[in-house]
Structure 1
Amino acid sequence: MRKRAIALSLVTVATAALVTAQASASPGTSHPRTAAAWCTGHGGQAAVYRAYYDSGRGLTPLGGVRELCRFQAKDHSRLVLPTDTLAADLPTLAALAYVRKPPLPQHPQGNPSAAYCAFIGGTTQFGNRKSDVGGWIRQGDPVDRDHLHDMCVFADGSAIDAWGLTYHTGGVIRGADLAKKFRAHIPPR
């Protein structure tokens, strides 16, 4: 009976170790499963960003913080998106929009990236009026509009840099081409 209990304990420990090992690596790869590790493993920089409301008279820090992945190219163009959007196991609306590149609207009104985001079902608004805007600033960066990243946020909670998405749809890569950096398989159409 005692040998059986010891054998059962060893099987339990071995199973727990296997489950832990499987949880730390994505299927078919040796990449760690954490979203931040996925980001850095694909050339990005993961960091914590804070949300700011832009009243037009200054930036107001908000309570929301989120881990974003930043890609910066040699030309200093950059693109940010949440690490959990990049490392999601299944397609997200942000990833689908990036890979499938829905056409740009004809003659958009106002900010082209906000208009495109709304056209494809997302939002860049920080309130109920079109003039309510804001964005995300990496903790430790100066709190100014030069460091503010506006995001196109979708109903599933995924998000992507609004300007990066708009430029990509027009054929311009900012920061990095994300098409093969998403963890999930994104069907072309």
Structure 2
Amino acid sequence: MSFVLAMPEVLGSAATDLAALGSVLGAADAAAAATTTGIVAAAQDEVSAAIAALFSAHGRAYQVASAQAAAVHAQFVEALSAGAGAYASAEAAGAAVLANPAQSVQQDLLAAVNAQSVALTGRPLIGNGANGAPGTGANGAPGGWLLGNGGAGGLLGAGGHGGAGGLGAVTGGVGGAGGAGGLLAGLVGACLLYTS
């Protein structure tokens, strides 16, 4: 069995070092281009001209090969940087799962199960509905289609369990309706009613 050991910090540092090396090599190639591609003949005879042309052709061929190598080098540095980022992301995700594995797995599973139902109906298959906002009389959200409790309606008016009564009102308002429960299991959400 093979194992891979990757340290994102080291990969990122290596990518930075290789990018710097590529810059140095590019500068050296650019500096040498004029003197290696345009060699002047040593004398005015045909042999000197042929030798100068041969070396100039080799210099131009080197510059073409160097440009191709620089392109491959840039792609390698980009791939190494992307790999370092991918390893860092995977390491962070793994650390999050290790911090609370049961909750993460449960959330991922419920999200996968509920995704289609929420997309089609706006309501999950499994899960509790949200409570109505306090003080608004808003309805509680429905629970999951199959399993889940409906959310409690929002309390309308001042008061509640042990709260101060409404001032000057003859009767209080009615809280929003509780959300619907699941078809197989679940309770209808509570409707909080306050009267003074």
So what's the TM-score if we normalise by structure 1?
0.28
So what's the TM-score if we normalise by structure 2?
0.27
When Rg is computed on C-alpha atoms for both structures, the one with the higher figure is: 2
Higher strand share: 1
The structure, 1 or 2, with the larger RCO (C-alpha pairs under 8 Å, 6+ apart) is 1
